[in-house]
Amino acid sequence: MTTSTTRATAAGLSSASAVIGGEVTDSSLRRFLHGLPGVDAVGADQRAAGLGTRSIKTTAKAWALDTVIQMIDLTTLEGADTHGKVRTLCAKAVRPDPSSPDCPSVAAVCVYNDLVPVAVEALRGSGVHVAAVATAFPSGRAAMDIKLADTTDAVEAGAHEIDMVIDRGAFLSGRYLQVFEEIVATREACNAGGHSAHLKVILETGELVTYDNARRASWLAMLAGADFIKTSTGKIQPAATMPVTLVMLEAVRDWMAQTGRQVGVKPAGGIRHAKDAIKYLVMVSEVAGEDWLDPDWFRFGASTLLNDVLLQRQKLTTGAYSGPDYVTLD
Amino acid sequence: MAKMGTFEYAPAPESRSVVDLQPSYGLFVDGEFVDAAGTSFKTINPATEEVLAEVGEADAADVERAVAAARRAHTRVWSRMSGAERGKYLFRIARIMQERARELAVLETLDNGKPIKESRDVDVPTAAAFFFYYAGWADKLDHAGFGPSPRSLGVAAQVIPWNFPLLMLAWKIAPALACGNTVVLKPAETTPLTALLFAEICQQADLPPGVVNIVTGAGPTGRALVEHPGVDKIAFTGSTAVGRGIAQQVAGSRKKVTLELGGKAANIVFSDAPLDQAVEGIVNGIFFNQGQVCCAGSRLLVQEDVATELVERLERRLMTLRLGDPMDKNTDVGAINSRAQLDRITELAAAGDAEGAVRWSAPCELPSKGFWFPPTVFTGVSNTHRIAREEIFGPVLSVLTFRTPDEAIAKANNTPYGLSAGIWTEKGSRILWAADKLRAGVVWANTFNRFDPTSPFGGYKESGYGREGGRHGLASYLHSEGDDL
Amino acid sequence: MTPPATRAPARAEVRKTYKLYIGGKFPRTESGRSYEVTDSRGRFWANASQGSRKDARDAVVAARGAFSGWAGATAYNRGQVLYRVAELMEGRRAQFVDEVSRGEGITRPQAERVVSTAIDRWVWYAGWTDKVAQVAGNANPVAGPYFNLSAPEPTGVVAVLAPQDSSLLGLVSVLAAPLVMGNAVVLVSSRDRPLPAVTLSEVLATSDVPGGVVNVITGDAAEVAPWLASHSDVNAIDLAGAADLDWAALEARSAGTLKRVLRPRDGEVDWAATPSGPARILFFTETKTVWHPKGR
């Protein structure tokens, strides 16, 4: 382990040890994380389904659609991504619906880190952030110094937000301290050299499988200083689901109650329809509370979602159903 | 970025235009709607106090006609029909209920005051499911475990309550008909409308006349029905006081009786429970249907070391409950069914105050018209308090604490009732231990208020006897070798 | 008729005092009363304790105290314990034959058959203990991710009015059934033919049936039964022995706490017939249904 990692760990240790009430070690983390209340999967599924039955109409729907747009991290994470593709996406991010001047911009554009300079350039002055996936996204299978270099690279290229992945292998084999230290070190890298990029920690809940794991990973990430906890890379099925996001919202709510520090939540992958996104907003509002109904504290990692929201938005404005030729491709 | 503000749900009212309310309704006897010989009474919408319709009040002569019709239908048609044919009528009814689900849901909500969300997602689909389930039994009774060729009992008198009007009708009529009985059913006087719509469904299904008869009315109508010498079977769901009266009335007769009565269920939360789901279970347990549920988890028994945290979580959750127009699809808590019921809830809650328990109610604006009571939690409740002993039948939770598993069980069982109980813990062996010890007919572990046509339901002790639902529910409507003890 | 004895026998017989059986002990009736029991020809046979309402009260307390232990015993254990009663009855066969023959006025060969059938009835019921739940319980395939199981459990304290005529076979038939699943019983014997019930008490006292699980009150059901019917801590009542009493009134009294009431059957009952199934056992059970979610 490098010297810088050790220092970073030392910085993170003090606040985490206050929460877990002792020295941060594999075994103390295990005791703390396994001491969290369990999650009954069926009950969590039902609660999420119940929230999904809310009927959001008229003014509430209009507000919700615009809020969803402002919470989108418009994402392209393909091997085939090009400068042109990213510039087009950035244009769409700033002005999602050219036919509607009052349509808000999205929150951020999310790209691989080699494309950060292109996005930064395209979004300059727009208020739309640039988010970069880092730490050997999506698998996270690389040496730590490579992951940190990956992060530093993105931060120095101007990324406002870093979406890192945790080492799911380490988590699943109980090496909680390793996961903790990697997050702490990555956070340090986000703040190095006078930068202050926000750190979103991707748990990849589809690989953690159980809600108990999702809850523990959420707390582990928050203990290590995550600004956001994020469900998924989008490369693994299932990606974001209502119940797993519910569990994470409960975690940030309880973390806030315990530490006074607010942490954001980002479901990513698989949210394609405005109707589904609105269900997530209902859940944010009723589970975490209204403090989270804000792009600073809740994001959608999505690509096709935006166009469906725009179609619904046009329907609300005109009263007639719209079609795909009336929104831009990207 | 600026804070976005609050998420105000716009009104999302279900349309009542799907329901074709008539100004007045008669009784359903021998396949036809007929005027009651007696007087009539008004049924109102408890959320607005608006009169919905005039309904006939059946007197003894009307009951006589209905029982006679049921007897004829039993003797001449229904008991002679093959089980397979009977089953097909029940399947037909189930399908029509699904087709007319929205209409049934709207009518139920108008007449009862429960949120449309519940009538739409719980009452009506579960009622249809009961008919589907028992339809399939009609030609398989030889294999139900009650001996070969079990016979029907004859005419069943069925008296049901106002808290789940259509669902209780289904619980009663579906197994009775599947077993070859004919029925005379009396719905509650405050909620007769879905039963009358069901009568129309029987007509649509071409159910032979007299197999199902609906007599509307209040207590005297029910008494006339129960006491009628021509009925072979009595099935009652309602209060323990009325159930006791029925048990006395039938004493010395050969009428077979099942009673599904009151409860004061303990919902036990251990400190290692899945707390977020426990909170949901508590909310569902006592605020579902405004707490007007016989198996409601009205006594929260929480382990002392987690009590403060749990109550905080619970109160935070209750702040998000939406009380108001039952027809709004986002309403979680609807109206209390009647002025009388509201008065009883109010009186018992006042007793809780007077006895020194601490009342907390979710802050919500109560509509100016109609019958309303906010979701309420009493902490600092002792076993001696009335609110810990008497069935409130409203959205009022009494919180008590315990220290050890044995104390939890002792407190849970310390009641004359024994309908249901809940256990919340992540420890499997403790669940099974507690489930053994609890003297209650239904034990929900890490869940609450789940119902299913295949699952028997019914109580211990003063919560009544007999089971409804599942294979066990057939025994209540069959004359089998077990009756010749 | 033998002529009156003109002198004392060589040895004075030690006569037996017939007492109640409550909580594993043999107390005299709290009331201090006894009544004459005659044989089938009306000749004096013995003095039996005439149980009272207070004896009933004590018996219910004893039964309630014994209930949880008996109900909580394994079904296998209950089966062994009940089978052991049959074994011990076999050892006392001669006494039972004598009492049944003399009390019911049947020949010794007939009484032999009655006693044999009664012993076999115990064996039949003993074998049910670990099978009832399998026959009467089942998993319920609910439409959701839940484990759901229904199984019978004992009702609690059961008052049993034993048949008046069939003093051993009827008695055993109505007593063994509620014991199978773990109920505790307060039994009121046949009024006129109580001695087999007392002898059975002695068998039970030396068996492995825990004290208080069976309590036997001799005397008049007409006097004692109303107190059992109205007793709040009695959960069920078997009116088999009340066929010629006002059983409707007893049923009405039982309604106060919603007891499960097994009505007497119309007409004569053939207790010799093997029961056609476990219905009598099941009458004194409650079906409990347990739900649990199935999740990762």
Tell me the pLDDT tens digit for each residue of A183-232.
999 999 999 999 999 999 999 999 999 999 999 999 999 999 999 999 99
Q: Which tokens belong to B417?
A: 């009732």
- Cα separation values, C51 from B478, C54, C247, Å: 39, 8, 19
d(CA C214, CA C212): 5
Residue bearing tokens 């009331």: C31
- Cα separation values, C88 from C10, C19, C84, Å: 32, 20, 6
**Residue C139: exposed, middle, or buried by beta-carbon count in 10 A (0-12, 13-18, 19+)?**
exposed
Q: Which of residues 144-163 of C touch B (CB under 8 A)?
A: 144, 146, 148, 150, 155-156
For residue A1, name the pLDDT band (cuts at 50, 70, 90). Answer: very low
pLDDT of residue A12: 58
Residue B3 has pLDDT above 90, yes or no: no
Closest by CA position to B292, among listed B244, B248, B237, B245 = B237
Q: What is the pLDDT of residues C263-272, one digit of tens each?
A: 999 888 999 9
Q: Nearest-CA distance from C56 to chain B in Å? A: 20
Residue B256 contacts C where some CB pair is shorter than 8 Å: no
d(CA C29, CA C34): 8
Residue A307 has pLDDT above 60, yes or no: yes
- Closest by Cβ to B455, choosing from C136, C249, C289: C289
Residues of chain A positioned with their CB less than 8 A from the CB of B274: 37-40, 43
Residue A3 has pLDDT above 80, yes or no: no
Question: What amino acid positions of B are annotated as catalytic residues?
Answer: 260, 294
Q: Give, to the nearest 10 degrees, the angle between helix B101-112 and helix B165-178.
A: 130
End-to-end CA distance of chain A: 43
Taking any CB pair shorter than 8 Å as contact, residues of chain A touching chain C are: 40-45, 209-211
Q: Nearest-CA distance from B147 to chain C in Å? A: 8
> Which chains would you list as touching B if contact means 3+ CB atom pairs under 8 Å?
A, C
What's the whole-number average pLDDT of chain B? 96
Residues of chain A positioned with their CB less than 8 A from the CB of C296: 41, 209-211
Question: Rounded to two decimals, what is the model's pTM?
Answer: 0.96
Closest by CA position to B52, among listed B108, B13, B102 = B108
pLDDT of residue B4: 54
Contact C257 B461 (CB under 8 A): yes
SS3 C73: coil
Q: What is the pLDDT of residues B15-44, one digit of tens each?
A: 999 999 999 999 999 999 999 997 999 999
Closest by CA position to B225, among listed B213, B211, B210, B209 = B213
Q: What is the pLDDT of residues B195-246, one digit of tens each?
A: 999 999 999 999 999 999 999 999 999 999 999 999 999 999 999 999 999 9
For residue B484, name the pLDDT band (cuts at 50, 70, 90). Answer: low
> Which chains would you list as touching C if contact means 3+ CB atom pairs under 8 Å?
A, B
Residues of chain C positioned with their CB less than 8 A from the CB of B251: 248-249, 251-252, 254-255, 261
Residue C74 contacts B where some CB pair is shorter than 8 Å: no
**Phi, psi of C121, deg, nearest 5:** -65, -40
d(CA B100, CA B88): 18
d(CA C61, CA C59): 5
Preferred mutation among C291, C294, C296 to probe A, highest tally of A CBs within 10 A: C296
Residue bearing tokens 């739409």: B120
Rg (CA), chain C: 20
Q: What beta strand segments (E) does chain A contain?
A: 72-75, 108-112, 129-133, 161-165, 198-202, 228-230, 264-266, 300-302
Residue B2 has pLDDT above 50, yes or no: no
Contact A211 C294 (CB under 8 A): no
The strand order across the sheet containing B155-159 reads B32-34, B27-29, B212-214, B182-186, B155-159, B233-237, B256-260, B464-465
Return the biggest CA–CA distance within chain C: 90
What's the whole-number average pLDDT of chain A? 95
Residue A5 has pLDDT above 50, yes or no: no
Residues of chain C positioned with their CB less than 8 A from the CB of A40: 293, 295
Residues of chain C positioned with their CB less than 8 A from the CB of A241: none
- Closest by Cβ to B10, choosing from A53, A60, A293: A60
ipTM: 0.97
Mean pLDDT value across residues A23-45: 97
Residues of chain A positioned with their CB less than 8 A from the CB of B9: 54-56, 60
> Which chains would you list as touching A if contact means 3+ CB atom pairs under 8 Å?
B, C
- Cα separation values, B211 from A32, B258, C8, C154, Å: 63, 20, 79, 36
Q: Which of residues 69-98 of B touch C (CB under 8 A)?
A: none
Task: Name the residue with higher pLDDT: B310 or C267.
Answer: B310
Residues of chain C positioned with their CB less than 8 A from the CB of B240: 258
Please list the residues that pair with B397 across neighbouring strands: B377
DSSP letter at C154?
A: E
Q: Nearest-CA distance from C148 to chain A in Å? A: 14
Contact C293 A40 (CB under 8 A): yes
- Cα separation values, B91 from A291, B123, B204, Å: 50, 18, 13
Contact yes or no for A29/A280 (Cβ under 8 A): no
Q: Which amino acid is at B351?
A: A
Q: Which tokens belong to B480?
A: 């089998």
* Cβ atoms within 10 Å of A127's Cβ, excluding its own: 11
Question: What amino acid positions of A are annotated as catalytic residues?
Answer: 163, 230, 266
What chain C residue is nearest to A211 in terms of C-alpha separation?
A: C296
